[in-house]
């Protein structure tokens, strides 16, 4: 390396040149390889790594594909390749599902429940967390750090423990077996996180903008509503997206706190169907699941790029 010209060290060697070099003497080739390593190796490794990524992604890739295909087919070869097209699996859209003598309720009221829950969670989470995120980002008051530290510590508190005590709290508030209760629990357990996310967005908005609006005669509320909020759109979009999807997919709280079948959502509905039709009618199950996945897929397709730019992680379960 040391004897080479500075130009040679950084120059990119064409692919063909590298192949021809391989035929030359061993010693020379070694020297060239050292020089051209960045090019040759990364090209080969790129192919290898793409293959490895494809292999480890197979279960995810194929299972979503299966879900979609199997909902439209009467028969599948080895569960993978559809053989006959049918709409029979989607019959739940126009008639209630029958299992033996048991008649399930129609899917539409259940879908409505799910949608209302998800929307209520989204709206209240956005409202509460933008308010509190603003306060935590801008106000210097006693106990600010304490609140943040407390929410941090609360986050380490396991979901099961909370669930048991929340059962009692809901019981005392007469909110057991109501979707309102589930909604309140859901929001409360998620706002510490969404407040922190939105606080980050507030922190990025410079103080000067607010000062100038104060100087122009706005009070705090007006500043928040007309100056800050419009600047916050990306953050609000992110929180609404996540809270909607998490409300839409919620299973555990409904499974635990709701007993009346009329009040269930698609999550518990599908779960009880799985219990009955597992190994028997995968066509029906996958059709219901595909139906349930529609909002998720829409969000996924339209917000994919934005999603990948921000990181997020585990939620409390």
Partner 1 sequence: MEVKTSSVMGFLGPFLILVLAFYFIPVILTVILSFTSMDYKLSWDFTGFTNFEHFLTQSLTYKVLLTTFVYVALTLIFNVGIAFLLALMTTYFTTHENTAMFFRAIWLLPRLTPVVVYCLLWMWIFEPTQYGLFNTILSLFGKSSSIDWFSSYPMGVIVFANGFIGASFGMVTFSSAIKSISRDYIWSAQVDGAGDWQIIKRIIIPMIKWEIMYIFIWQTLSLLNSYVYILILTDGGPLHETEVWSLYAYHKAFKYMEFGNGAALSLFLVIIGIIFTFISWKIFGFRKMMGQEVSR
Q: Which of residues 168-207 bind partner 1 (CB under 8 A)?
A: 168-169, 171, 184-185, 187-189, 191-193, 195-197, 199-200
The residue range among 21-29, 82-90, 97-105, 244-252 that interacts with partner 1, by the rule CB under 8 A, is: 244-252
- Determine the straight-line distance between the first and last CA of the chain, rounded to whole angstroms: 56
Shortest separation between residue 98's beta carbon and partner 1, angstroms? 20
Site string for partner 1, 133-172 (x = CB under 8 A): -xxx-xxxx-----xxxxxxxx-xxxxxxxxxxxxxx-x-
By 3-state DSSP, what share of the chain in percent is helix, strand and coil, each rounded to 5?
75, 5, 20
Shortest separation between residue 59's beta carbon and partner 1, angstroms? 6
132 binds partner 1 (CB under 8 A): yes
245 binds partner 1 (CB under 8 A): yes
Q: CA 194 → CA 129, 189, 241, distances in Å?
A: 6, 10, 11
Residue 228 and residue 202 in contact, taking contact as beta carbons nearer than 8 Å: yes
Q: Which of residues 98-117 bind partner 1 (CB under 8 A)?
A: none
307 binds partner 1 (CB under 8 A): yes
**Tokens 């635990």, residue?**
256
- Interface pick for partner 1 out of 80, 112, 229, 280 (rule CB under 8 A): 80
Backbone angles phi and psi of 279, in degrees to 5: 70, -10
Residue 100 vs 158, nearer CB to partner 1: 158
Shortest separation between residue 216's beta carbon and partner 1, angstroms? 18
Residues with Cβ within 8 Å of residue 154, at least 6 apart in sequence:
192
Shortest separation between residue 281's beta carbon and partner 1, angstroms? 12
- Interface pick for partner 1 out of 123, 249, 276, 281 (rule CB under 8 A): 249
Residue 105 to residue 153: CA distance in whole angstroms: 42
How wide is the angle at C-alpha 299 spanned by C-alphas 298 and 300, nearest 5°?
90
């Amino acid at each position: 390396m040391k004897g080479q010209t500075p130009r040679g060290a950084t120059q990119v060697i064409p692919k063909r040149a590298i192949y021809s070099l391989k035929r030359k003497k061993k010693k020379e080739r070694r020297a060239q390889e050292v020089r051209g390593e960045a090019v040759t190796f990364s090209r080969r490794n790129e192919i290898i790594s793409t293959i490895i990524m494809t292999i480890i992604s197979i279960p995810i890739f194929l299972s979503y594909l299966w879900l979609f295909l199997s909902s439209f087919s009467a028969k599948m070869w080895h569960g993978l390749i559809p053989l006959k097209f049918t709409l029979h699996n989607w019959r739940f859209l126009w008639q209630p599902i029958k299992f033996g003598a048991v008649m399930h309720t129609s899917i539409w009221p259940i879908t409505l429940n799910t949608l209302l829950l998800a929307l209520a969670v989204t709206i209240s989470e956005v409202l509460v967390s933008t308010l509190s995120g603003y306060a935590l980002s801008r106000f210097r008051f006693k106990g600010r750090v304490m609140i943040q530290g407390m929410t941090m510590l609360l986050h380490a508190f396991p979901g099961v423990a909370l669930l048991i005590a929340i059962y009692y709290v809901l019981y005392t508030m007469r909110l057991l077996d109501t979707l309102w209760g589930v909604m309140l629990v859901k929001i409360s357990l998620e706002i510490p996180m969404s407040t922190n996310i939105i606080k980050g967005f507030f922190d990025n908005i410079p103080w000067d903008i607010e000062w100038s609006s104060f100087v122009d005669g706005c009070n705090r509320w007006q500043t928040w509503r007309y100056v800050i909020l419009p600047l916050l759109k990306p953050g609000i979009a992110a929180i609404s997206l996540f809270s909607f999807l998490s409300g839409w997919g919620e299973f555990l709280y409904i499974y635990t706190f709701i007993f009346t079948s009329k009040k269930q959502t698609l999550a518990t509905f599908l779960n009880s169907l799985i219990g009955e039709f597992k190994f028997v009618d995968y066509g029906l199950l996958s059709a219901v699941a595909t139906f349930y996945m529609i909002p998720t897929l829409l969000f996924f397709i339209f917000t994919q790029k934005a999603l990948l730019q921000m990181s997020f992680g585990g939620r409390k379960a």
